[in-house]
Amino acid sequence: MRLLITGGAGFIGSQIAHRLAHKANYTVSICDRFGQAEDGKWSNLLGLPLADIIAPEGLLAWLESHWRSVDAVLHMGAISSTEVTDVDRLIEQNFRVSRDLWDWCASRQIRLIYASSAAVYGDGAQGFQDENLQGAATLRPLNPYGWSKLLFDHYALAAQGRGASPPAWAGLRFFNVYGPNEGHKGGQASVAWQMLQRARAGQPLQLFRSHRAGIEDGAQARDFVWVGDCVEVIAWLLEAEISAGVLNVGTGTARSYAELAKAVQAATKTQVPIAWIDTPQALRATYQYHTQADISRLRQLGYLRAFTSLEAGLAAYAQAIG
């Protein structure tokens, strides 16, 4: 199978490449921007046999000239920061680029898997069910990033309703993904990565205090999902040739930040203390206190593999980064 991965040097994209590029029946090309060598993003691709590397500004032209050599596009490239305030930039990168890729895949009948986000669910008041078109209109993201992702989900679902879709497609609403190859993201890397770095340096693990009545400090919870599990879902979708629509990718279990801190201590064999800090005022109005993927549709579609526990994932992560 011949794949093009956008964001292929990034966190999830590079992990997909590592999972598939060495397989005898796969060839992988990537599209990404690398920046300076000291940023380290290029090192996410060490050891990989790649067919081509394409600059983002040349992507559609490359696809049009190579479309007979592409079986599927895995669109992982995006602005992934929930703190970006330049809404025009978010619309351009997260909506228009995705829309153009969708339209191209539909016109050439090329399979498409793209990265959506659990940020579309906002504060979770409407639940975390991937009900596709029926439920999408009720969602209220808390930040422009989540809105940009929901905007494209809407576009994809409406296009499918018009019969203008790729032959098979999936929009994956990733929950809180953590694992190797995210270090280049710096402050936007997962809380798991941040905590592991602090524990290794012997520094206290910083956790936000709760600013909501009835929720204790550290009881804020997330569906933390190991990046390898996300990659396995993608590999399964490719092999099974399933058109899944918009689909949650998480463990289906919420774990508290206090539990995360304990798991980091165990993984690093340290007893660094927890330091409680106030949630920044700028984040309080948009801070999620609970996320938990409903993975019923994923299971109904036939994905039965167990997800990695938080403890096992952090142990593997600590070992991977040394």
Q: Residue type for 304, please?
A: L
String of b and e for 280-311 (b: at least 16 CB within 10 Å)? eeeeeeebbeebbbbbebbeebebeeebbebb
Active-site pick, 145, 178, 257, 303: 145
> Is 197 within 8 Å of 54 (Cβ atoms)?
no
Catalytic: 145?
A: yes
Cα dihedral 129, 134, 140, 144 sign = positive
Cα dihedral 267, 268, 274, 280 sign = negative
Catalytic: 149?
A: no
Burial class (CB in 10 A: 0-12, 13-18, 19+), 205: buried
CA–CA separation, 298 and 316 (whole Å): 25
Strands 176-178, 255-256: pairing is: unpaired
Active-site pick, 155, 185, 287, 289: 185
Cross-strand bridge partners of residue 248: 173
CA–CA separation, 105 and 19 (whole Å): 23
Active site residues: 145, 185
